[in-house]
Amino acid sequence: MEQLSLNSLKNFLGNQGVELSEKQFLQLEGFASMLYTYSGRMSLVSAADRDNLVRRHFLECFFYVKNLLMVFPSQARLVDMGTGGGLPGVILSIIFPENDIVLLESVRKKSLFLKKVKEELSLSYTVVNERIERVESRFFKSFDVVTARALAALPLLMRYAFPLLREGGQLHVIKGRDYEQEMAGLSGYALRVVEPGK
């Protein structure tokens, strides 16, 4: 497994305005280790990515952190839709331990993994093992921020997210190179594109 370099990771986060405590770094390190150990049997990350967790997954998730720091007060609630192995949900819970964070995952074995991570790393998020479309009434207008990564096309993500968002809430997604095509026809929404490193 790729080694988490304490200095390089702390330096990267420091440049984003995030100071990691020793406890938080150990939690990130523990999460990386558990992802590596369990990914083969649970399809948490692809086989090709198991040896590249930090560069391929963690740094991308920290892009959320940089942008959420601007909009994420301590009382804000967040849901990570289709969190899978906890990317970015678990990382956000480590960085924002005081916030109420819900990890929504429909696959039972992945939900069990997330509960194990929560217990072993002493994290505070809530795991909900359910399909997104079945929690609309339960979590109607409950969240300030919705996140999603590698889940669905933007129009579908918006359809899933909007019932869950409070007035003034925000949907944060990471998209690939085809994002402009997905954004076509979505006029009337306050959409903002942020490129990595900016």
Angstrom distance (rounded) from CA 182 to CA 59: 24
- What is the per-residue pLDDT for 62? 74
Q: pLDDT category, 119, cuts 50, 70, 90? A: very high
Domain assignments of the chain as residue spans, ordered by start: 6-183
97 in helix, strand or coil? coil
- What is the per-residue pLDDT for 1? 45
121 in helix, strand or coil? helix
Angstrom distance (rounded) from CA 64 to CA 22: 21
Residue 90 has pLDDT above 80, yes or no: yes
pLDDT, one tens digit per residue, over 26-37 is: 998 899 889 888
Q: Which two tokens stand for residue 75?
A: 């009382």
Task: Give the global pTM.
Answer: 0.84
Angstrom distance (rounded) from CA 128 to CA 158: 20
Position with higher pLDDT, 2 vs 57: 57
- Give kind and range of the element (H or E) at residue 20: none
Smallest CA-to-CA distance from 121 within 1, 9, 31 is with 31
Q: Structurally, what CATH architecture does the domain formed by 6-183 represent?
A: 3-Layer(aba) Sandwich (3.40)
